[in-house]
């Protein structure tokens, strides 16, 4: 027979209300009584109903997550990090995407107004004013991940895209490359902008000029990397190395290299960004920038839960930038058997 709160209360010799207060970590319950109730609940394998708990505490024990997309290894790693930490904290997760078919503000309003979540984790690398204005007026806690760094009045967990890009380009330069091209991400994407800035500054810092013909745009997808690589290789003056702004486009570049009969790294050196699992399967193994994607999601959950519980002031801005590390493969000219962080 399924255990219910009445059986726990009867065995503990207390009222149902006392059991509810003890299991919901509310005050007015002696520690000795609370410990006894928790022990009995565990013995009987009793778990409070999330709905009943919500009615008691006026919380849902659920956090909302809005990502630009739900497809691809990068987003799956973020979801994994979020879900794992939420599970440890006995919280539930509702996930939605904010791709072009759905308005971010509408999704946020739906989450907030419905009362289905206690707070929201939002990834909006293409933040616009309408979204920013809504965020500043929101009464529920919101944590941003990988969103624009100029949102200084918000809680924002970010990857150090800029320094990561600088490291990628300087690694190519240390191999003796001077004609370095870039396959950029979407112009309106904050991650792409920061990586592009790092690319330019690394060139200028090493007295290498940037060439417009060596700057080709992509959309972070495999197909765009394929076509961008072909565009670069079809020029009369070809680069001797390419910094590709994410690994998915690098995968496309590998396919294009096969089509053209271009050898990596003998004919062209390549460095990617993100260190997704697929990059390990390329031959030669892709040299890329490791991004702590899962950790990013985990940190966002932990901070959001502190905001919800009142442990931190949810009205105060907070920013944390997670560092990146270069993973050495063979695509840059290093030995393909040598793989490590530097």
Assigned domain for 99 exists: yes
Greatest mean pLDDT range, 7-16, 97-106, 232-241 = 232-241
Assigned domain for 283 exists: yes
- Please indicate, yes or no, whether residues 217 and 270 belong to a single structural domain of this protein: yes
Report the candidate in 243, 241, 228, 270 with the shortest Cα–Cα distance to residue 164: 243
Average pLDDT, the chain: 85
User: How many structural domains compose the chain?
Assistant: 3
- Please indicate, yes or no, whether residues 205 and 226 belong to a single structural domain of this protein: yes
- Please indicate, yes or no, whether residues 167 and 287 belong to a single structural domain of this protein: yes
Domain carrying residue 99? 62-160+293-323
- Please indicate, yes or no, whether residues 303 and 156 belong to a single structural domain of this protein: yes
Main-chain dihedrals φ then ψ at residue 262, nearest 5 degrees = -90, 130
Q: 224: buried, middle or exposed (CB in 10 Å: 19+, 13-18, 0-12)?
A: buried
Predicted local distance difference test score (pLDDT) of residue 213: 93
- Please indicate, yes or no, whether residues 11 and 50 belong to a single structural domain of this protein: yes
- Please indicate, yes or no, whether residues 25 and 96 belong to a single structural domain of this protein: no
Residue entry with tokens 């053209």:
260
269 versus 54: the higher-pLDDT residue is 269
CATH of the domain at 12: 1.10.260.40
Assigned domain for 97 exists: yes
- Please indicate, yes or no, whether residues 287 and 172 belong to a single structural domain of this protein: yes
How far lies 92's CA from each of 105, 119, 124, 160, in Å? 22, 11, 22, 29
> CA torsion sign, 254 to 224 to 184 to 152?
negative
CA 45 – CA 197 distance, rounded (Å): 55
Q: State the angle between helix axes of 16-23 and 50-57 in degrees (0 to 180), rounded to the nearest 10.
A: 90
| Three-point CA angle 36, 42, 46, nearest 5° | 110
CA 303 – CA 143 distance, rounded (Å): 8
- Please indicate, yes or no, whether residues 314 and 196 belong to a single structural domain of this protein: no
Assigned domain for 338 exists: no
> CA torsion sign, 43 to 47 to 52 to 57?
positive
pLDDT in tens, 239-285: 999 999 999 999 999 999 999 999 999 999 999 999 998 999 999 99
- Please indicate, yes or no, whether residues 169 and 254 belong to a single structural domain of this protein: yes
CA 331 – CA 268 distance, rounded (Å): 8
> How much is the pTM?
0.77
Assigned domain for 331 exists: no
Assigned domain for 328 exists: no
Assigned domain for 20 exists: yes
Assigned domain for 78 exists: yes
| Three-point CA angle 161, 340, 242, nearest 5° | 50
- Please indicate, yes or no, whether residues 25 and 90 belong to a single structural domain of this protein: no
- Please indicate, yes or no, whether residues 224 and 192 belong to a single structural domain of this protein: yes
CATH of the domain at 285: 3.40.50.2300
């Amino acid at each position: 027979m399924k255990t219910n709160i009445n059986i726990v209360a009867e065995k503990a010799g207390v009222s149902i209300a006392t059991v509810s207060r003890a299991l919901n970590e509310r005050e007015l319950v002696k520690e000795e009584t609370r410990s006894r109730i928790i022990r009995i609940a565990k013995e009987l394998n009793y778990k409070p109903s999330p709905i009943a708990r919500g009615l008691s505490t006026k919380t849902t024990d659920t956090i909302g997550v809005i990502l630009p997309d739900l497809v691809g290894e990068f987003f799956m790693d973020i979801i994994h990090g979020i879900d794992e930490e939420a599970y440890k904290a006995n919280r539930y997760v509702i996930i939605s995407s904010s791709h072009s078919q759905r308005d971010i503000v509408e999704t946020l309003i739906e989450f907030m107004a419905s009362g289905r979540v206690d707070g929201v984790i939002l990834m909006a690398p293409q933040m616009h004013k309408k979204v920013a204005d809504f965020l500043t007026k929101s009464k529920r806690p919101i944590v941003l991940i990988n969103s624009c760094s100029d949102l200084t009045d918000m809680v924002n967990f970010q990857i150090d895209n800029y320094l990561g890009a600088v490291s990628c380009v300087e690694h190519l330069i240390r191999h003796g490359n001077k004609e370095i091209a870039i396959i950029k991400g979407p112009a309106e994407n904050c991650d792409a902008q920061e990586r592009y800035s790092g690319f330019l500054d690394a060139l200028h810092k090493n007295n290498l000029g940037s060439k417009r013909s060596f700057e080709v745009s992509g959309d972070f997808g495999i197909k765009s990397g394929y076509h961008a690589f072909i565009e670069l290789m079809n020029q009369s003056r070809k680069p001797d190395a390419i910094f590709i702004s994410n690994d998915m486009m690098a995968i496309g570049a590998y396919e294009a290299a096969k089509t053209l009969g271009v050898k990596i790294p003998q004919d062209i050196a390549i460095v990617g960004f993100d260190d997704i699992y697929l990059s390990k399967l390329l031959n030669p193994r892709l040299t890329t920038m490791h991004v702590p994607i899962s950790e990013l999601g985990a940190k966002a959950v932990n901070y959001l839960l502190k905001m919800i519980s009142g442990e931190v002031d949810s009205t105060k801005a907070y920013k944390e930038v997670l560092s990146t590390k270069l993973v050495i493969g063979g695509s840059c000219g290093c030995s393909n058997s040598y793989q490590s962080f530097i």
